[in-house]
Structure 1
Amino acid sequence: MDFGALKRSIRFKMLGGILILELLMVAVFSGVLLVSARKDLALNATKAVERSQGAYNLILQGDAKMLAAAMDCFATNAAVRQIYAEHQDRQKLLDAVQDAYRINKTRYGITHLYFIDKDGTCFLRAHDTGNFGDQIQRDTFLQSRAAGKTISGIELGKTAFALRVVTPYLHGGNLIGFLEFGEEIDHFDQLVKRETGVDVAVMVDKRFLDEEQYHKTMKASGKPDTWNQFKGFVMVSTTLPDAKTAAALVSEDDFRKTAAPEYFGTLDRGGASLAKGAFPLKDSSGKQVGVVLTLNDVTDQVRNERMALWTLVLITLLVFAGSFLVGAAYLRAEIVGPLVRLAGQAKEISMGNVELKLETEREDEIGLLIRAFERMRVSLKKSMAMLSRND
């Protein structure tokens, strides 16, 4: 085969153009499908982050109501109110509340019980009896004192978060101080994972923590000290295997700019595709003190989307290949074939065979060309006949 002649042929040019056009269409179609699949993954991953935040907030609200209910029950104890109103015997007050504190701790998970004077001085910590006399400046207390009603919310202490409920404490209709119940919220992570199937890690800005107290607390509790794992944040709780896994999620720049539930892309770990995300963590005053990272297993979704993408690309290629073959057959039958035959007939005429009549019923451009050659043949035949007579 003369490839040079093939390249110069109209068949090569037309079919080549069609092939290039169809390949471009396949590429564009595949690109659109890929972008659509990625948008769908991002949308679902963002919804997973939002669900995690919703579950976190619902757990928080539920436990706040539980603490408030337990506090209301505790506040009805007239004997305890009388002892505190006298404000003289701290040990007597501790003896009076110890059993109730143990019961509430076992039944409701209450880990903190405070009696706070009207001026903000801590009169008694039932959970830490040797620590009293300091000024309480937490937002929940300040809000409760200012509003004269029960206030709840999460607050960051020196090393970790706790859910706190503070209420005015009345005796004989008079304000004698404030009562506070608190609950450590490390277990929230496991509850969120159980509800949503999403792993989480609570990251707190170091600016709101006491480094020395953090190291002491971690050492005393036997928990891993992750202070140096991150530059500006500390992981205070997680459902992930270790801090290194959390470190692989997003950069600290992403931590800083997380103001709403966000999706940060995917990563592959151990053969699984994991969607990274985060939502802001705010204290009772509305101040953002950290973020909650999320890691959602999207392996099945990614696999299904890839299979769907390749299936659609394959179907598209088959459709385009079929249309190309049909187009090539049509081009051969309706354009290239007639032109080749016309070229052969024209060659015969040029060699003197003017008796070869050119006929067609086509009304398109090919038909016009054949009729033009037929008129040329007739004219040439007449001219040759006149030349013969003159000779």
Structure 2
Amino acid sequence: MNIYSILPLIAIFANFITCFFVLYINPKNNLNRFFGFFSFSLGIWSLCNYFTFNAISVSEAFFWNNIATIGTVLTSVSLFHFVLIFSKNKLAFNKIFLSLIYLSGFFLIFIEYTTTLITTTMYRAYWGFTCNIGPLYVLLSIYVLILIISSLFILYLYNKKTSTKELKKQTVLLFIAITIPFIGGLTTETVFPILNFEVIPFTSSLTTITAIIICFSIFKYSFIRSKSYSIQKKITISFLVIIVSLTFVFSVVNFYYQDEHLKNQADYEIELMQDKFNVVVEHEMQGLNVALEVIVQDKSLMNCYLEKNRTKLYDYGQPLFQKLKEKFEDTHFYFIETNGTCFVRLHNKDKYGDEITRFTYWAANATMNISYGLELGKTAFALRVVKPYYNGSQHIGFVELGKEIDHFFTHFKEDRSAEFAIILDKQYLDEDKWGSLREAQGLRNNWDDLEDKLIIMETVDEMSELDQPCVSCFISENVDKVIKGNYTPSLIQHEQKTYVCGGFPLIDAGNREVGTIFALIDISKSAMIAQNANLVNISLSIILLIFTIILAVLISRNISKPIENLSKSVKKIEAGNLDIQVEIKTNDEIGQLSSSFNEMVKSIRISSETLEQKIKDRTNDLQQKIKELEDFKKIIVGREMKMINLKTQINELKSKVNEEKGDDFH
């Protein structure tokens, strides 16, 4: 996995979690729906950036880039629509206006999918694939910028207008959450591409900060949610956050180890190639040594040399040299005099009499023992073995055999799907001689291809489809790093294939690091296995996430449902219904609570019935007392009436008596 793709991977999880969270807490609210749509669009955008960064071919990168355009357009449109609803703007209910906004976005998506006017092609940058922009890329950028800037301006006006302190804080946090990725996108995906500056696109990665700020606003200032959550939602959200975090950590660790596995394989492939090269060199040196042992024992050949008859020696030795050339691919055969002058070259009859100035000769002359090593000729490296030549005990000169190492790599290429190159520092070569030789061979003069290095041998043809990755691999910078010992084999993707680019120093017989042997090895099968493993990991993570959501909802409902039933029963009791019974389905703490609740209701009902009976009995007693009092009252009242009547009668009699007395007096 590309290390730069970790940031969009984090953004994928952050935005999809935010989307689920916002929709889950209040799915019927338009604010939640449109903000969920906005978060989902951000997640799609981040997902496409992740796959674009890790694409292994231009066509694959182009596919994901087109889908990313959908995410870009939908993100800006859904954000603008959400801000209109959030700020209670009248345009939120203007269907014609909104239709024009959405249709404009779909038109840009159509252009992206059917033409190359927005994205012309894809190319590989240091972070992965990125796009070459077309003439209408500016139009897409302007469309997105207008919607985002308008959203920020509407939020600013709404913040000025609203008087609610909590709404002001929500608006400020939303403004910040939008501004951060907006500035990142404006610089890395609009300004820099138009100015032809190559910068990693950070917009989708910065949306992780947006998700964090929004979640903070939701919890702290009740942004697009009610003041409190049900137990079910609290349990579901907590469970989901834990599982998603674990899934994310698992995914990152898995991607990391897959990436490390490919890097380790890259190291292994280069080390294996270096070991194989060293083994072949050692084996070939032993073969040359054996051949020299046979040559120096040939008395007829020695007599020709002692006669100092160059032509005779050449003619006599030619069949032997041709046999060595055909059977063992030996390319050089020298007889050298004791003073270091070349007496004859069996591989080049016309060149002789020159002084031999090679490390292998100097070592053999100094030690009077066999010497061997890799040495650079005019155009190629050759494996050379020099042996002192004796006639009895008399030292008469030196014999040298050699073979160019180019054919080593031809065999390596046949054994392994790979391309090779030998790259040397130009200080060891002559420019004029190199140009003449290439011309004589009918080859292009490649002296100026690299600044201070020269590719003296490569197995790939310039017209081959592998020429482009080889050009990326066989460069001066890589050679310098190999020589300094700080080069790590790298991976190169080309046309849906993955290659290891690596090398090891080429040390000559003088123990000089004169150049580098580079290899471009095809490890597409291993890379495909790793990529498939990553896709399986992502698929399993998504399946696990969906399963977790379902499981979390079921578990939280299983816990919260009995509590909700208890709550409803309490309300019924408050209304006076004491015949309620809560159904008991489990034997856990919830079941025990339900059982205790039923016992409590039963006790209340019994107490209530007992209290009603007592109240009824007391009421009957009171009614009886009242009746007795009423009867007693009637008796008392009757007596009082009789006393009143009697008193009245007495008063009447008194009046009559007084009247009679008055008459008698007169």
Alignment TM-score, normalising by the size of structure 1: 0.85
SS of corresponding position for 2:406: coil
Give the equivalent residue in structure 1 for 2:423.
203
Deviations 1:157-214 (A, max 9, x none): 2322111110000012211111111212221111111223322122122222222221
Give the equivalent residue in structure 2 for 1:227.
447
Q: Which has the larger radius of gyration?
A: 2
From 433, 436, 450, give the equivalent of 1:213. Answer: 433
Q: Contact 2:336–2:343 at 8 Å: present in 1 too?
A: yes
C-alpha separation in 2, matches of 1:46 and 1:241:
26
Tell me: CA distance 1:271–1:288, structure 2 relative to 1, closer, same or farther (3 Å): same
Tell me: CA distance 1:7–1:202, structure 2 relative to 1, closer, same or farther (3 Å): farther
Residue 186 (str. 1) matches residue 395 (str. 2): no
Give the equivalent residue in structure 1 for 2:341.
121
Q: Is the helix fraction higher in 1 or 2? A: 2
C-alpha separation in 2, matches of 1:293 and 1:261:
15
Matched ranges for 1:196-345 at <5 A:
196-242=416-462, 245-249=469-473, 251-258=475-482, 264-333=489-558, 335-345=559-569
Tell me: CA distance 1:158–1:371, structure 2 relative to 1, closer, same or farther (3 Å): same
Q: Could you tell me how far 1:140 is from its partner in structure 2?
A: 1.1
SS of corresponding position for 2:489: strand
Structure 1 unaligned segments of length 5 or more: list them: none
Tell me: CA distance 1:285–1:130, structure 2 relative to 1, closer, same or farther (3 Å): same
C-alpha separation in 1, matches of 2:469 and 2:550:
53
Give the equivalent residue in structure 2 for 1:39.
260
Structure 2 unaligned segments of length 5 or more: list them: 1-26, 30-224, 620-666
Q: Percent identity?
A: 26
Give the count of matched residue pairs.
Answer: 388
Q: Contact 2:562–2:590 at 8 Å: present in 1 too?
A: no
Residue 347 (str. 1) matches residue 571 (str. 2): yes
Deviations 1:256-287 (A, max 9, x none): 12257975332222332222222222222332
Tell me: CA distance 1:340–1:50, structure 2 relative to 1, closer, same or farther (3 Å): same
C-alpha separation in 2, matches of 1:363 and 1:22:
25
Cα RMSD after superposing both structures: 3.4
Tell me: CA distance 1:347–1:339, structure 2 relative to 1, closer, same or farther (3 Å): same
**Residue identity matched to 1:234:** L
Tell me: CA distance 1:343–1:308, structure 2 relative to 1, closer, same or farther (3 Å): same
Q: Could you tell me how far 1:82 is from its partner in structure 2?
A: 3.4
SS of corresponding position for 1:229: coil
Residue 143 (str. 1) matches residue 370 (str. 2): no
**Residue identity matched to 2:334:** Y
Give the equivalent residue in structure 2 for 1:12.
233
Deviations 1:217-265 (A, max 9, x none): 2222223322111122211222212265422125422211225797533
| Deviating more after overlay: 11-20 vs 176-185 | 11-20
Q: Could you tell me how far 1:298 is from its partner in structure 2?
A: 2.0
Tell me: CA distance 1:167–1:7, structure 2 relative to 1, closer, same or farther (3 Å): farther
C-alpha separation in 2, matches of 1:261 and 1:67:
35
Q: Contact 1:52–1:198 at 8 Å: present in 2 too?
A: no
Tell me: CA distance 1:256–1:381, structure 2 relative to 1, closer, same or farther (3 Å): farther
Structure with higher RCO (Cα < 8 A, 6+ apart): 1
C-alpha separation in 1, matches of 2:583 and 2:524:
67
Q: Could you tell me how far 1:47 is from its partner in structure 2?
A: 2.1
SS of corresponding position for 1:248: helix
**Residue identity matched to 2:421:** A
From 75, 100, 105, give the equivalent of 2:296. Answer: 75
